[in-house]
Structure 1
Amino acid sequence: MTHNTPLSPRPLRDLSEVHRRVLTTAQLRAHGVTTAELNEQCRPRGPWQTLLPNVVLLHPGPPTSEERLHGALLYAARESSAPGVPAQPTAEEPHGPVYAEAMITGLAALTLYGFSATPPLLSLDHIDVLVPRQRRLRPAGYVRVLRTPVLPTPRMVTGLPVAPVPRALADAVAELTDAEAVRRLLTEAVRAGHCEPAAVVRELTQAKLLNRPHVVDAVDSLLAEGRSIAEDRLYRMVREYGLPDPVWNVDLRLPGGPHLGGLDAYWPEQAVAVELDTRAPRQDEDALWSEYARKREHLERLGITVVYITPKKLRKSLEQQAAVVRTALMASGDRDPAAYVVVLPR
């Protein structure tokens, strides 16, 4: 036995279907395929073909979208302790390799999430793969390598590690110059419930994309879309959980005095207000939060209870938010009467 002889070769039938069709050269060696055999199989018009550097497609036809995705991850994944071999299946991951420090992002990721505004996988010229910044990895073939200082926790979609939707959106938007395409992507992300507007804006800010006018315009539409959806959920919360009808979208003023601020819902008899916290993480976030805090403090000094609710809480825990508002309404009888304020339509 020489140092090139694989120890305990694993038969190809032990792998799941897609992993029998796309393997690295190191994995093939681990399965007993010699370099000479590999070269023979990958000859022109041979039964195998090189899909990417050190990644082999074990049939002669065009790769499927699934094969392209697995091939991209095999190319980009961090090597295991055995040189050139991506992490092997474990008891917890029996059906294929663990793609360490690599995940699908960009338009391919959004298509995997089910976005209708993205192209089919096979029509994409390239597939974006996100890896840590320190990795020495070059783009190759149809794989575009994107780097990040902090790798996010991936989500598993169809058995593949995929970047979270906000990060995948930012990576997709970075390469798009069509304002309408950007707007469609951001709007679908919020309307279909994939993520909250604030999370998208946070990623776009970190990617330094908010200096592009077409992105800023799309973000403005996104925030308007997010507020509209949150308002609809607030109406539904009041209706479905039997809360008293408030007055909607009002401004409060002291009689003959200053403007106290706008509110999304207000119960005058109980002096309870609800305001949607739809702040987006932009550069003026601290100043905007200070304005929120000053407004709340001023209203509560007047005896008005203010309940702040985020769109995310309305989406994920509508019943719990209704209970919070109901508790505030019930507690109003135990408080001193609030100051008289003028309620005006906003």
Structure 2
Amino acid sequence: MVVRAAALEAAGVPGRTISRRCASGGPWQRLLPGIVLLHSGEPTNEQRLQAALLHGRENALLTGLWALRGHGLERLPPPRDVHILVPADRRIATTGFVHVERTRHPPRAYVRGGLPVAPVPRAVLDAARRLTNEDEIQAMMAESVQRRFCTTGMLTDELDQAGRAGTALFRKALIPLADGARSVAEADAWHLLRRSGLPPGQWNVAIYDADGNYLATPDFWCDEVAFAWEIDSYRHHTSLEDHRATVARNARYAAAGIVVLQTLPSRLRTEPDVVLGELRAAFRAAQGRPRQGSLFKRTA
């Protein structure tokens, strides 16, 4: 159990007793100034989060990576500390494992696992401002959109309210997401496509034939020439079922007269110029191939 030392004293426990029990070898321990854990073992993550919120006092809430974990996001780096938001007029300092941020515009709190947490767009922005790895930021933002925890519009609105300080990597990661990319690999592909000089297309749109039969949802689709680009990783072919699904998808592409290029995500970085040549060649092949019937698309 995590409690304030002041609460223990209010319940009749003398301050000297608290100090003695929190001394080395005692049954209790101080997690933070004025915050006591009523056992001597290693505190759990939940106990650290509870202690951080007690340190922040009334209306404090979790943000950043721990808040995103509470919401259910998974593609996150390990948190270095516990990031909390407190009202701007509160004089509470960062200490121990707690990073305190004062804000003039506290967001609405959501309760996750019994703890108050910031909404996903704010937590994503707060986490991104303290990360330096572009892939980690891109993956975190992509998951928040792909799994419908928020939209790119919500991330953009949060960014507009935040100002520019510390947001450069967030802004960079948001551009391909706003265009429809939904992963780090797709963001790499988006940047490579920008270099290609090829006509723009759409990312992650569902393609149907003229009779309304579903064909596929390619990572990138150029309707002008019926060309699909799939960023297919080994991870998606580790089971027989996954392999069958990919073969069936490619058969539907072929039957509809769609030229498809499949690229491993790793090659987007290890040999981008080679992939760029393949992309241009596949597009030219699509241009020179008679189109079989009409296709239409719906946003995925």
Same fold (TM over 0.5): yes
Task: Give the structure 1 partner of residue 19 of structure 2.
Answer: 39
* SS of corresponding position for 2:180: helix
Amino acid at match of 2:177: L
Structure 1 residues 159 and 125, CA gap change in structure 2 (3 angstroms) = same
* SS of corresponding position for 1:225: coil
Amino acid at match of 1:31: A
Task: Give the structure 2 partner of residue 74 of structure 1.
Answer: 54
* SS of corresponding position for 2:130: coil
In the aligned structure 2, how far is the partner of 1:175 from the partner of 1:130? 14
- The 5 Å alignment of 1:262-273 reads none
- Report if the CA contact (8 A) 1:209-1:215 is conserved: no
Identity %: 36
Task: Give the structure 1 partner of residue 172 of structure 2.
Answer: 217
Structure 1 residues 211 and 141, CA gap change in structure 2 (3 angstroms) = closer
* SS of corresponding position for 1:151: coil
Q: Is there any run of 5+ residues in structure 2 with no aligned partner, and where?
A: 182-201, 214-221, 225-298
Structure 1 residues 44 and 170, CA gap change in structure 2 (3 angstroms) = same
Deviation at 1:217, TM superposition (A): 2.6
- Report if the CA contact (8 A) 1:107-1:118 is conserved: yes
In the aligned structure 1, how far is the partner of 2:166 from the partner of 2:11? 51
Deviation at 1:222, TM superposition (A): 1.3
Deviation at 1:223, TM superposition (A): 0.7
In the aligned structure 1, how far is the partner of 2:97 from the partner of 2:166? 29
Mean Cα deviation higher: 34-43 or 217-226: 217-226
- The 5 Å alignment of 1:311-326 reads none
Amino acid at match of 1:66: E
- Report if the CA contact (8 A) 2:77-2:136 is conserved: no
Task: Give the structure 1 partner of residue 116 of structure 2.
Answer: 161
Correspondence for 1:143 among 98, 103, 121: 98
Amino acid at match of 2:50: H
Q: Deviations over 1:161-187 (max 9, x none)?
A: 000000001100111121111111110
- Report if the CA contact (8 A) 2:62-2:84 is conserved: yes
Structure 1 residues 45 and 125, CA gap change in structure 2 (3 angstroms) = farther
Q: Is 2:139 the partner of 1:184?
A: yes
In the aligned structure 2, how far is the partner of 1:35 from the partner of 1:239? 74
* SS of corresponding position for 1:161: strand
Looking at CA atoms only, which structure, 1 or 2, has the larger radius of gyration?
1
Q: Deviations over 1:284-315 (max 9, x none)?
A: xxxxxxxxxxxxxxxxxxxxxxxxxxxxxx99
Deviation at 1:209, TM superposition (A): 4.1
In the aligned structure 2, how far is the partner of 1:138 from the partner of 1:225? 40
In the aligned structure 1, how far is the partner of 2:111 from the partner of 2:166? 32
- The 5 Å alignment of 1:192-231 reads 192-209=147-164, 213-225=168-180, 228=203, 231=205
- The 5 Å alignment of 1:1-346 reads 21-78=1-58, 101-120=59-78, 124-209=79-164, 213-225=168-180, 228=203, 231-232=205-206
Amino acid at match of 1:51: L
Structure 1 residues 189 and 172, CA gap change in structure 2 (3 angstroms) = same
In the aligned structure 2, how far is the partner of 1:113 from the partner of 1:183? 18
- Report if the CA contact (8 A) 2:129-2:167 is conserved: no
Q: Deviations over 1:68-91 (max 9, x none)?
A: 00000011013xxxxxxxxxxxxx
Q: Is there any run of 5+ residues in structure 1 with no aligned partner, and where?
A: 1-20, 79-100, 241-247, 251-313, 316-346
CA RMSD for the aligned pairs? 2.7
Q: Deviations over 1:66-120 (max 9, x none)?
A: 1000000011013xxxxxxxxxxxxxxxxxxxxxx21000111111112112135
* SS of corresponding position for 1:46: coil
Q: Deviations over 1:172-230 (max 9, x none)?
A: 0111121111111110010011001111112123223488553333111211237746x
How many equivalent pairs are there?
Answer: 197
